[in-house]
Structure 1
Amino acid sequence: MASATGPSIADLARRPRIAGVGTACPRETYTQREILDAFDISDQRVRSVFMNSAIERRGLLLPPRRSDGSRATESQGDLLRKHVTNGLSMGREAVESCLREAGRSLADVRYLCCVSSTGFITPGFSALLIKELGMDRHCARIDVVGMGCNAGLNGLTAVAGWSEAHPGELALMVCIETCSAAYVFDGTMRSAVVNSLFGDGAAAVAVVRPAQAPENTGGPAKGTSGPALLRFASCIIPEAVDAMRYDWDDDLARFSFYLDPEVPYVVGAHVGLALDNLLTGTGLLRSDISHWVVHSGGKKVIDSVRLNLGLARHDVRNTTKVLRDYGNLSSGSFLFSYQQLMAEGCVRPGEFGVLMTMGPGSTIELALVGW
């Protein structure tokens, strides 16, 4: 239960709330061993990275097969087309699922935020999805591009701000990440770490600030049964700005990811500071947080967050499950974990939760939510 000095029920009723979440992944899924075998990878160092990742299966669009059964080499153009085509397909499915859960329709959407870091296109996914879905041409939009795995909360900050200023109107955020459109198969350990971790997926979240809370209850209005978005906080780690990168490789003539082996420890060393900043002035203590929705950044990242915050394995069970079943889905990962939490039916009125993502910058993003 919440601390007696925490945000009031009346404050919860006035804030933008999550009205629904929807997710989507490719139909093609692979175990780690199947991916290794698909590319005839025999290097035991690489195989060890894959097999000790705590990932069992991921949705991926692998390169097409040649006539001899081997996988083709995709150009940067091929990868970009994959980013757009698969992204629109997954994005549409996630949006439609989200709106069904929220009891809304496409005609209700007044603001669309699209988040992605696995390809660069102009116009962005927001314009393409508005056309693809036949949404209102007057729908306001924004694209959050190139911010990496933390970007889902950066986008949600913008969505919550818009919702705050437009009571009763529906805003939508869609995280679209075709991580297989950013893969490089060059046999190096740098690429192996990335290729062992990320999966393709999209996640959409609907947000609305109730126009008026029900009288005498202070509870959420109909169609806004999710938690209130109470506060956001960021923690930038400039000295680790190069720890996570997606940049151009002249030798390979394509973009590629880089993850520094020290990333889990950098995140862990700063996560307590970031959380304290989020809770400062709220009257809440760490012990008042009942639910933790953490980005599935990888086994070492999850363990580092858990140990540095003193969390039990049970606290990050949904994050661990998402990593196991989907891999790291970049910006939308935390919404997959949130969906798992809500499916458990364990949340009670008066409880608080923390949403947490981390990524390039290096950055830790957090949101405080309340039911």
Structure 2
Amino acid sequence: MRGVRAPDTEGAGGCSGAGTPESHPRITAVGTALPPHSYTQHELLEIFGIEEPRIRSVFLNSAIDRRHLTLPPKSPSGGMVQETQGDLLRRHVDSGLSMGASAIRACLKRAGADVSDVRYLCCVSSTGFITPGFSALLIKEMGIPTATSRLDVVGMGCNAGLNALGAVAGWSGARPGALALMVCIEACSAAYVFDGTMRTSVVNSLFGDGAAAVAVQAGAEPAGGGTAGDGARGGAPALLGFASEIVPEASEAMRYDWDETHGRFSFSLDPDIPYVVGAHAAEPVRRLLADAGLRRSDIAHWIVHSGGKKVIDALRVNLRLTRHDLRHTTGVLRDCGNLSSGSFLFSYERLLAEGAAVPGDHGVLMTMGPGSTIETALLRW
């Protein structure tokens, strides 16, 4: 995937940097949700009885303090119940619906809109496979209009939030005034394998559960008559463009596939991921900015996926970013772990709460995931 996606008069693609601010889709609100229970890394080591020094070191040197998870119940002997793939799938659905609905409600409230205003719903998830997908289930659960157009983006991994946002922006751009929603729903605790190996322990030390929703709308007025901008001094930022980079030779570096030994799906992360991501991150950023006639120094805000400590460090070095630039990325990792496709929206929410974005500022959204893939988008407040 190369090149910045060009404007599409039918609304099926992304947006370019040309045109008036009103002609671009805007992010008018964001909402997030987490499960009710959270655990420190120390607590998780005790809960799962992990004593192997190397594995304990992975947990305790992850730059993660706490994660929100939905853990399995305890067995009569005091250990954790060994769950089947069916058990995990039920958790994916039950926890996912709860988190997704909460994130959507928070987003709509901030947008000054109601579920009756929704015209397009895109749901993103990589922690389970269900048909019908979350979009149909949420329409039923929340009373979203049955005429709502919908899309489920399944199995793309941590980068998928921006893949989906491109589709949502294209739909929105072709229908000024119509309210579109995207929600990333990741019940990562429904995709765990516990076997004491270093491969699964790296995954188990990193991911947390969470959901994040954004409202997207083209045109000057938000759907429900509320104040666009979700509290940011700069108002609702316009989505100016998207750029992608895929590294086919690293296609096996991040996988979620069937583990025959354990009879369930399992994540696998290659130790070289930080170096692969870091080495290729500059190219999509260069194309993204070149299309808009911008330089790196023109970017005031960096909203980056919280992929892990080493990934963040590699991006900081290769993109010549400061720790301040990535303060919300590292803050989300510290407080929530890697939330997969919705991580960057948790960082975006923190940026808005900070009130640092002002009219005229540009920002870059960045996600990374299987493929290996790097996705970027350009914002203007």
Aligned pair partner of 2:239 in 229, 234, 238? 229
Contact 2:17/2:291 (8 A) holds in 1 = no
- 1:180 and 1:310 map into 2 onto residues whose CA distance is 34
**1:127 corresponding residue in structure 2:** 136
In the other structure, the counterpart of 2:272 is 262
Structure-2 residue corresponding to 1:196: 205
Q: Structure 1's 311 and 211: CA in aligned 2 closer, same or farther, altered over 3 A? A: closer
CA RMSD of aligned residues (A): 1.5
Q: Secondary structure at the match of 1:318?
A: helix
1:222 Cα offset (Å):
4.8
Q: Identify the residue that residue 87 of structure 2 maps to in structure 1.
A: 78
- The answer to whether structure 1 residue 304 and structure 2 residue 309 are counterparts is no
2:59 aligned to 27, 40, 50, which one?
Answer: 50
- Picking from 312, 324, 327, the partner of 2:334 is 324
Q: TM-score if structure 1 supplies the norm length?
A: 0.95
- In the alignment, structure 2 segments of 5+ residues that lack a partner are 1-15, 230-234
Query: What does residue 155 of structure 2 align with?
Result: 146
1:252 and 2:262 are equivalent in the alignment = yes
1:182 matches 2:187 = no
The alignment partner of 1:365 has SS state of strand
Q: Which residue in the other structure is 1:362 paired with? A: 372
Identity %: 66
Deviation, structure 1 residue 348: 1.0
Stretch moving more, 67-76 or 165-174: 67-76
The amino acid of 1:301's aligned partner reads: V
Contact 2:366 2:374 (8 Å CA) reproduced = yes
1:203-222, aligned counterparts within 5 Å?
A: 203-210=212-219, 222=227
Q: TM-score, normalised by structure 2?
A: 0.92
Within 1, Cα distance between the matches of 2:201 and 2:285?
32
User: SS where residue 326 of structure 2 aligns?
Assistant: helix
Could you tell me how far 1:279 is from its partner in structure 2?
Answer: 1.3
Q: Deviation at 1:63?
A: 1.1
Per-residue CA deviation, residues 53-99 of structure 1 (Å, 9 max, x unaligned), is 00000000111111222111110000000000000000010000000
Which among 103, 117, 120 is matched to residue 126 of structure 2?
117
- SS of 1:186's partner is coil
Instruction: Give a deviation string over 1:148-177, Cα, whole Å, max 9, x none.
Output: 000000110010000000000100000000
Find the aligned partners of 1:340 and 1:288 in 2 and give their Cα distance: 21
Distance 2:345 2:365 in 1: 9
3-state SS of 1:81 partner: helix
Counterparts of 1:315 and 1:200, CA distance in 2 = 25
Give how far 1:187 is off. 0.4
Query: Who is 1:349 aligned against?
Result: 359
Runs of 4+ off more than 6 Å = none
Matched, 1:19 2:24: no
Instruction: State the Cα distance separating 1:195 from its structure 2 match.
Output: 0.2
Letter in 2 for 1:322: V
